[in-house]
Amino acid sequence: MTSVRPARRLLFVAAASLLAVSLVGCVQNAPTTAAPTGDAVVVGADDAVTALVPAAIAESGALRVGVNLTYSPNEFKTAEGAPTGWAIELMDAIGAKMGLEVEYQGAAFDNILPGVIGGKYDVGQGSFTDTKEREKIVDFVNYYSAGTRWAAAAGSTLNPDDACGLVIAAGATTYQETDDIPARSEACVAAGKAPISILKLETQDDITNAVVLGRAAGFAADSPVTAYAVSATQGKLELIGEQYDSAPFGFAVAKESGTLAQAVEAAVQSIIDDGSYGAILAKWGVEDGAVSTAGINGALF
């Protein structure tokens, strides 16, 4: 998920960096389809992982995770308001490997990274794309790879490489809205064609509905989100073109957090190795972005 949301100013010395930082994800306030009903994946503690957990966190028994629950199928809420999504299940498994209870604290996208930096959260979760700019102020533990994918009405002839003169929907302040589509629009103008009109919306439900109702010719979002939204329309929309600009997702950890990043990395690798990682992704149908090795700060751009 590769959206760009400028982080809120936290300290004067960090203001310039924070304003440049991007958060990942479009916004979706409610799931458009029900969560999978498969059995929960049970994970136990890993001694090699727990040994890396900083003492203060180990003693508390809890991992405080700041998360925006608005981005199905990655992180969102059940009808009862409980955290759900494949990335939530991954974090639950990571917490179990660390011998910790995960305490999810709902947060606005703009507040997650400042909360991590300021110590309010141990980990920031929001389908962040790990970028070199963001790595200047936090560390990212990489756990998935995603790119951008487009969708349009079933039977559409929309071509993402030639959407000149069309209205394309995207999440406000997402990477697609701030970087990707504007660059494509500039290419249209340079070629003597009409620019792309961007329909900026706040929730993925609104984005999807805009295309279904004909307000936009198509939309662009992170690949797993686009696929999930298309499946929810039961044939009204279809995937268009191929995924592109793939990059790693990462859980954000403060740079001054001792061995926490290493503990989270070891936990991710442990669930990969024992098969629980693959089982969770398969349960949600998002295996395409699976990685075989965890890492820290693997930004590609």
Do 263 and 165 fall within a single domain? no
Q: What is the pLDDT of residue 23?
A: 36
In a domain, 240, yes or no: yes
Q: How does pLDDT run across 170-181, given as a tens digit for each residue?
A: 988 778 998 899
Average pLDDT in the 124-146 region? 94
The per-residue pLDDT for range 45-72, each reduced to its tens digit, is 999 999 999 999 999 999 999 998 888 8
Q: Are 287 and 45 spatial neighbours (Cβ–Cβ below 8 Å)?
A: no
Q: What is the mean pLDDT of residues 217-244?
A: 94
**CATH number of the domain bearing residue 235:** 3.40.190.10
pLDDT score of 197:
98
In a domain, 7, yes or no: no
Task: Quote the pLDDT of residue 37.
Answer: 64
Torsion angles phi and psi, residue 22, rounded to 5: -115, 140
Per the domain annotation, does 43 fall within a domain?
A: yes
Rounded to 10 degrees, the C-alpha dihedral 239/31/272/275 comes to -100
With a cut of 90, say whether residue 258 has pLDDT above it.
yes
User: How much is the pTM?
Assistant: 0.79
**Number of folded domains in the chain?**
2
Give the per-residue pLDDT at 272: 98
* Whether residues 128 and 259 fall in one domain: yes
Contact 260, 54 (CB under 8 A): yes
Domain of residue 167, residue span: 148-245
Q: 99 and 173 share a domain?
A: no
Task: Specify the pLDDT at position 131.
Answer: 87
CA distance 22 to 3: 7
Residue 70 pLDDT? 81
Please report which confidence band the pLDDT of residue 301 belongs to, taking 50, 70 and 90 as the band edges: confident
- Of residues 172 and 152, the one with the higher pLDDT is 152
> Which of residues 203, 223, 245 is at a domain's end?
245
Joined tokens for residue 143: 């756990």
